[in-house]
Amino acid sequence: MTEREEIEAAINTWNTGLDSGDIETMVSVCHPNTVTVNENQPVTVGSQGIRDKYNPRIAAAEITSGYDIEVLQFFGDVAVVSGRFYGTMKMRDTGDVRKPEGRLVLVYQRDEDGAWKMILDMDNNGPT
């Protein structure tokens, strides 16, 4: 598997966890001190921060996720991804469908076992 395929696999694992409501799958591809920076929300740090941020989203909606990598650069054991995200959120209480989309930057670092773990997730909503 190429390094790009490894990064895509890590992103796909995160999205699969989000889409299926499995927060532990999401956390499995993250460094224990991952920083998440989402628009109009407090910065969170760590696995518990991810659980606290995403569990309410998962409970509130049926989610589908997608992404496009526009630039992927490697700096030794660090990979920087920039691109766009998109998806749907069907709200469980109202049935309304939202279509979030925007820009993202993800940073991954190889751990001691050679696996890519997300250390930063930063995004903003809006036109892409």
Output the six-digit token pair for 70. 């526009």
φ and ψ at 52, to 5 degrees? -65, -35
How many angstroms separate the CA atoms of 54 and 61, rounded? 11
CB 78 within 8 A of CB 108: yes
Q: Render pLDDT for 32-44 as a digit per residue (tens, 0 to 9).
A: 999 999 988 899 9
CB 36 within 8 A of CB 118: no
- With tokens 């991954």, the residue in question is 108
Residue type for 16, please? T
Distances (CA, A) of 97 to 2, 55, 89: 36, 19, 6
Closest among 4, 23, 6, 5 to 113, alpha carbons compared: 6
Q: Render pLDDT for 85-95 as a digit per residue (tens, 0 to 9).
A: 999 999 999 99
H helix or E strand, kind and range, residue 123:
strand 116-125
| Beta pairing partners, 75 | 78
Domains assigned to the chain: 3-125 (3.10.450.50)
Q: Render pLDDT for 70-121 as a digit per residue (tens, 0 to 9).
A: 999 999 999 999 999 999 999 999 999 999 999 999 999 999 999 999 999 9
